[in-house]
Amino acid sequence: MTAEGFWSLVRQTLVAPRGAAARLLSLGLPAREGWLALAAMAVLNTLVYSLSLRLSPPTDPAMMGMMAGAFNAPLTFAIFLFGALALTALVFTHAGRALGGVGTVGGMLVLLAWMQALRLMVQLGLLVLALIAPPLAGIVVIVAGLWGLYILMAFMAELHGFDSLWRAAGVIIIAFVALVFGLSLLLRLVGFGTV
């Protein structure tokens, strides 16, 4: 992909995300490429996140305790992030198929990796913005989060062949419930949270 094609895809993702998803899916990348792209995004996002913590560490000690993984053990954090993204791809695919969707894990990997690439660009922008205009950075975080959710719904609708974003929203809700339930069950099985 050329630089012009890349920026064209970025613009299309922001203004017509469903068309951008169709464009990405039409590349026909094999699942292996999707896994590699997701791994690369996990590593790059961890690097930028660790850098942002070093440049402007949180002042709240409780918050710093929560972020210590990225700060002190970035490799472990990157592995955890990759695992979380992989699990998310699988759950989104199967939740969509449960609602009559036709998406594949390979397609979901490509779309999720692209969303992580966009997230990386937002993180880099926020890193600069937090140094020069911290209040504005907070507003950008909120706007980016809401717009990211809209993009995710559009991507989900395109991947699964849904005619509306409402079914895509249903997939996200089902996936979220399944992830929370699965993680809480896993934590109980390993003894976390038992007295």
Mean pLDDT for back-to-back runs of 10 residues, the chain (195 residues): 89 96 94 94 88 69 56 79 90 93 94 95 87 84 93 96 92 90 76 56
d(Cα 46, Cα 52) in Å, to the nearest integer? Answer: 10
How many C-alpha atoms does 128 have within 13 Å on its Cβ side? Answer: 5
Q: Which contacts (CB < 8 Å, 24+ apart) does range 126-129 have?
A: 126/52, 127/48, 127/51, 127/52, 127/55
Residue 85, token pair as written in the block: 């993204």
pLDDT at position 2, please?
A: 84
Give the residue carrying structure tokens 């850098």: 51
- What is the reported pLDDT for 195? 46
pLDDT of residue 32: 93
Q: How many of the other CB atoms lie within 10 Å of CB of 73?
A: 14
What is the distance between the alpha carbons of residues 99 and 21, in angstroms, rounded to a whole number? 19
Angle 32-37-38 from CA coordinates, rounded to 5°? 100
Q: Which of 18, 24, 31, 44 is nearest to 156 (CA)?
A: 18
pLDDT at 24: 95
- What does the DSSP 8-state code read for residue 88? H
